[in-house]
Structure 1
């Protein structure tokens, strides 16, 4: 393995300090040792993309800048456009990244691995997370699966060069990897909108499934499930992190391309509830609304070209059969025009979801949980599994 050098050692010390500050406590000694001995830079490709505009940063052209990104406590994009060429900056979108180290070590701590545990990781990415786990557990106990053949090959090469014995499997992570099951721990490094039943089935009773969560409404949170031994699993959400969605659960929908049609005749009404209340800066509200509307997504059009409309919130179902638009004119702060089309009144449902959340005391994500039943149903709850959250479909 290439030596890290003096500059790299300084960057490593800075990273450890930043991670400890973010976690609010020092890393557990085994994870600190793994961080030092499994260097993050050894798993990053020669070219990464940084910043909101995904500016290209090459190790060959700017080695100092590249190393700073390698040891910053931020996510680093390691692939754009699923590996396809994107010449123009505006055409780039992130399809793989190395997660912020503080998020990585928070999840590893939540995973609570013990000596002898067998771990399945979904979403190999760069391979760094699998390398940290293999350093902690030893050879032959970590299996990691990656859907992208190029990423899988790169990660396998990195793990081999560092000398860590994690098995890299190229395939669909949603199916798990039955050949090495059962696992004591399953961890995903991509978000999901539904927990694949294979992950629960391939986890030993009492084992843990830790996954980043996303609803079409809002991408946020971690879900830590304990498998019950009867085909189900249950556990709480935690208010940390946002990850890229698993490729097999992606939806590519656009309002004017896929949803709204010239022939639609929407129903008009008014509301006093600000659309910013349900889709603004309050992450707890958005999380709760997303749990209740599991097939509804939303997008803002802040520069609407409609006369008299200063901002517009769009809501639509993932099957594109229903939509709603909530318009503000920028002058009346408590009156908004609502347009709804389809068999469901989506804004009415959003108002009800928000009202339920406020009536429950405006709980944060950490008070919510989810049960995955043996038949694959997902049942959200508040505080206890018997206190179901209303799901509006």
Structure 2
């Protein structure tokens, strides 16, 4: 079995190495703390869409379990904050062992070195805390997890491999002031608004790496550097998408309050044009509007259709859906609430085209104590709405 595990580990490392920009120290850490030591015996293997998630059960089929663990996919370990048994297979994904390539990409961007003090936000299974321990030393790692049951299992996983990091159960947005100052902040949950507490608890020159997840189309990896004036500035350096931090989740959807809140109209803008635009467009639209999006396509008696939903995450009363049908010059828009969200999306999209359709790597963010600004090319060219 040991030889078989070693071969699987090397195969996974080769798979991760194909990224081309993974630091060798991260690969060495992955070799030192194999992934299967942090994956529960029953979980959901979640491949790239459209393939469905599948249950993996080590007790029922260890070979299939190991194959999934070392295939490089995300392994979901919790549904509905623990309210739904993982064997049900359906529910909101609320904790996971992240895809190894994504883990390696974040750690490479973090550039943690021996002796660095690291704040790890979102302990999950404990695997990233273990990898960080190999990079900087376990005594320098502080990891925060909001879910007590998840934290408890992570503590056991870490103890089983002989690593004693400092663990905190609480909202990761608060950081851990008692263990500050930090040289690095490593975030493994989706963030809409960067908590300034992380900046405050860092030394000047510290690096914060986080998944910026406004949930309009693509999500993004953000790398910030802390400045002596108490701000943090950095650029978007690739793709990353994680489950949202619990304290930053959207308000649940709700029906319109009355008939006056519901509106039908048409648009000449094909919703696929916006939905299938580049990550740069997604960043620009989310920055300008603060809206989220979702898409779905299908067929009915009238033929093919494609729908794009846009909504205001701050309120359940402002959303719209635009529907494409073949052969039409105008497309139906159904809107709820007073805010003209579809028109805002279209306006932001065409602003982006007017800027020359810049890619994601031309955008960045500045975080201060009282604001979060997204900019194009330089911090002076702010594009986000107040």
Report the TM-score when normalising by structure 1: 0.90
One of 5, 10, 24 as aligned partner of 1:8: 5
Contact 1:40–1:71 (CA under 8 A) maintained in structure 2: yes
Alignment partners' CA distance in 2, 1:159 and 1:390: 41
Q: Which stretches of structure 1, 4 residues or longer, exceed 6 Å deviation after superposition?
A: 304-309
Alignment partners' CA distance in 2, 1:7 and 1:301: 41
One of 345, 354, 373 as aligned partner of 1:350: 345
1:277 paired with 2:273, answer yes
Deviates more, 1:264-273 or 1:199-208: 264-273
Deviates more, 1:319-328 or 1:205-214: 319-328
Unaligned runs of 5+ in 1: none
1:193 paired with 2:187, answer no
2:310 paired residue number: 315
1:145 paired with 2:118, answer no
* CA spacing shift, 1:272–1:85, aligned 2, 3 Å: closer
1:359 paired residue number: 354
1:36 paired residue number: 31
Q: Deviations over 1:325-365 (max 9, x none)?
A: 32333321x42233445433212211110001111111121
1:324 paired with 2:320, answer yes
- In angstroms, what is the RMSD of aligned CA positions? 2.4
2:17 paired residue number: 20
Alignment partners' CA distance in 2, 1:227 and 1:67: 40
Report the TM-score when normalising by structure 2: 0.91
1:289 paired residue number: 285
Contact 1:288–1:357 (CA under 8 A) maintained in structure 2: yes
2:377 paired residue number: 383
Q: Deviations over 1:72-92 (max 9, x none)?
A: 222111222222234774633
1:202 paired residue number: 201
Alignment partners' CA distance in 2, 1:126 and 1:20: 23
* CA spacing shift, 1:64–1:84, aligned 2, 3 Å: same
Alignment partners' CA distance in 2, 1:129 and 1:83: 21
3-state SS, counterpart of residue 264 of structure 1: helix
Q: CA deviation at 1:113?
A: 1.3
3-state SS, counterpart of residue 138 of structure 2: coil
* CA spacing shift, 1:323–1:240, aligned 2, 3 Å: closer
Unaligned runs of 5+ in 2: none
1:211 paired residue number: 210
Q: CA deviation at 1:188?
A: 0.4
Q: CA deviation at 1:244?
A: 0.9
Alignment partners' CA distance in 2, 1:315 and 1:138: 44
Q: CA deviation at 1:390?
A: 4.2
* CA spacing shift, 1:74–1:155, aligned 2, 3 Å: same
